[in-house]
Structure 1
Amino acid sequence: MLCAETYGPGGGPPIVLIGGASSSMDWWVPGFCRQLAAATAGRVIRYDHRDTGRSPACPAGEPDYTGADLADDVLTLADGPLHLVGVSMGGAIAQRVAIEHPGRVASLTLIATTFAAGGPGDLPPPEPRVRAAFGEPPPDWRDRDAAVERITADVGRLSGTIPADPEEVRELARRVFDRTTDMAAAQTNHWILPDGRPLTGRTADITAPTAVLHGTHDPLFPPPHGAALAAAIPGARLVELPGMGHEVPPRPLWPLVIGEIVKVTAAGYVPGTTGR
């Protein structure tokens, strides 16, 4: 069973926050969750993916699940239609759920992500600084200090022009380390997952009301990814996040991001229905 936390007692479809690869729920910080729950008068769920936080872990390099299983996990968090908010890999997971289970998705907010399926082949690659980071040898993930410093460095490489306090990032990384059953598994397994069952639909088949939020300084998925994704989903709205890199939205952008989630969740939920 996945480890999850809920904020807010509100009714209607819950808002499920889906993290990126190797990311536990900790990256959706409690302050953001509380503000989102208050703004929507709804229920917000954050959770640990498999191999992160307190959710079940496999040995590093030996995941016993697939990418499709990570999408199926979302549907176990609550009954009925869901508002899905996904960042990076979480955005791809949200797209897959919307394609395969349209009746379970009330709305989509896709942040710092790209196509789960059926995207164009001419989108720009990651910036050189990101490609170089992917080639670095991993630290000893059992060493708390080494793990914290590597996570802090990776956050810095993926950030945009909005300054981040390195000590705040280190403190969050310490919390991640302390909550994670197996850091080597958390930092390895999501990157080697097989897709699992074929995804027969395309991102362009999504029918849920959708907002695409993309940083103007995203070095992993440069801005054309967000623009193309929004253009491909019928009726989707593109919102540029000024100064944001490839990251969970930083605090200065919370009012903008929460405001956009309020809009799309209001569009996606009609009382008495089972979703769109």
Structure 2
Amino acid sequence: MLNDLPYLSAGEGPPLVVLLYTPQAANPKGPARWSTMRLVRPFTKHFTVYVVNRPPGLPPVTMMTDLAAVYARAIATTFEGPVHVLAISTGGSIALQLAADHPDLVDRLVLAGTACTLGPAGKRAQRAYIERARHGKRPSAALAEIVTESTIGRVLLKGLLWLSDGGHEDYTDAVTVLNAEDGFDLRGRLHDIKAATLLIHGGKDLVYPLDLARQTVEGVPDARLVVYPGRSHNGTFTDKRFAPDALAFLTDS
């Protein structure tokens, strides 16, 4: 545990804190763990990577500022000085809040597939996820809308996502985090972020539309945007350019 937070670590070198979204407030297991470590493996050649998760059992009224404070305490008590942060999707929302509220803790920030607030489709899908979870239904099928624009693709994906939930998971912690992101809007606070920032974004991201990514970069004093045309939300992080682009920024002295 990293200041009571579950985490995975690998690699050698200065710390790189990675923030991702996971349905459970625990280290990923099985295929999810494999895909997580595959994502961060290129970074382990330059950094000691810490994939840090939230603690279980957060109060249902938790806001994004509360989540950022949880990670801020872990960073402040574990590392000497500010750290580099790599954050994806909902993890990026948390990282933006962290960098705005605790600018002394983040010295370089790479974001992917995220923005200063959710787009309309992202909000709609996440609210549907929350409602399904609250009614005891497998919730992930609600996310098909933000994965593809294809009608046939959504029908097929809903079935696959429904199966992926397994039927025995507790999604209470996931609902808490998604509720926090539902109320997240940092457009009035972006100027408080002092870290050098890179946002890598897909041109066809349905969760956080490209115009919101542009607003985010325009609001952060030292930020730039890299767009992968034609890439979806998930396609951004799996693109072969992602790790090299992020590493070039993180290791640029």
TM-score range, shorter chain: 0.7 to 0.9
Q: Which of 37, 40, 47 is 1:30 aligned to?
A: 37
Taking structure 2 as the reference length, what is the TM-score of the superposition?
0.73
User: How far apart, in 2, do the equivalents of 1:92 and 1:257 lie?
Assistant: 19
Partner Cα distance (2:126, 2:110) in 1? 28
Which residue does the alignment assign to 1:5? 8
Could you tell me which of 134, 140, 144 is aligned with 1:156?
Answer: 144
Aligned partners of 1:5, 1:44: CA distance in 2, in Å? Answer: 8
In the alignment, the residues of structure 2 paired with residue 250 and residue 265 of structure 1 have an alpha-carbon distance, to the nearest angstrom, of: 16
Q: What are the equivalent positions in structure 2 for 1:93-242 lying under 5 Å apart?
A: 93-115=94-116, 125-127=119-121, 131=124, 134-135=127-128, 137-139=131-133, 147=138, 150-151=139-140, 153-160=141-148, 173=165, 182-183=170-171, 185-193=172-180, 202-242=189-229
Q: How many residues were matched structurally? A: 231
Deviation, 1:139, is 5.0
Distance in 1 (alpha carbons) for counterparts of 2:106 and 2:249: 12
**SS of the residue aligned with 2:115?**
coil
User: How far apart are residue 33 of structure 1 and its match?
Assistant: 1.6
User: Which residue is 1:42 aligned to?
Assistant: 47
Match of 2:243 among 246, 258, 274: 258
Report the RMSD for the aligned CA atoms in angstroms: 3.8
Q: Distance in 1 between matches of 2:106 and 2:222?
A: 15
SS of the residue 2:218 aligns to: helix
CA separation in 2, counterparts of 1:168 and 1:17?
Answer: 27
- Structure 2 gap ranges (5+): none
Residues 93 and 42 (structure 1), Cα distance of their counterparts in 2 relative to 1, 3 Å cut: same
Counterpart residue type for residue 127 of structure 2: F
- 1:104-154: CA deviation from partner (whole Å, max 9, x where unpaired): 2121112222226xxxxxxx9424x96367347415786xxx63xx42x34
SS of the aligned residue for 2:120 comes to coil
Structure with a larger share of its residues in helix? 2
Name the structure 2 match of 1:120: none
- Aligned-pair CA distance for 1:239: 0.8
| TM norm structure 1 | 0.67
Q: Secondary structure at the match of 2:243?
A: helix
SS at match of 2:60: coil
Q: Is the Cα contact below 8 Å between 2:125 and 2:142 reproduced in 1?
A: no
SS at match of 1:207: coil
Query: 2:50 is paired with a residue of what secondary structure?
Result: strand
Counterpart of 1:74 in structure 2 is 71
Q: Which amino acid aligns with 2:9?
A: T
Q: Call closer, same or farther: CA 1:250–1:57 in 2, change over 3 Å.
A: same
**Aligned equivalents of 1:133, 1:101: Cα separation in 2:** 27
Measured after TM superposition, the shift of residue 187 of structure 1 is: 3.2
Shift of 1:186: 2.3
Instruction: Output the CA distance in 2 between the equivalents of 1:99 and 1:158.
Output: 27
Greater relative contact order, per chain length (Cα 8 Å cut-off, separation 6+): 1
The percent of aligned pairs where both chains have the same amino acid is 22
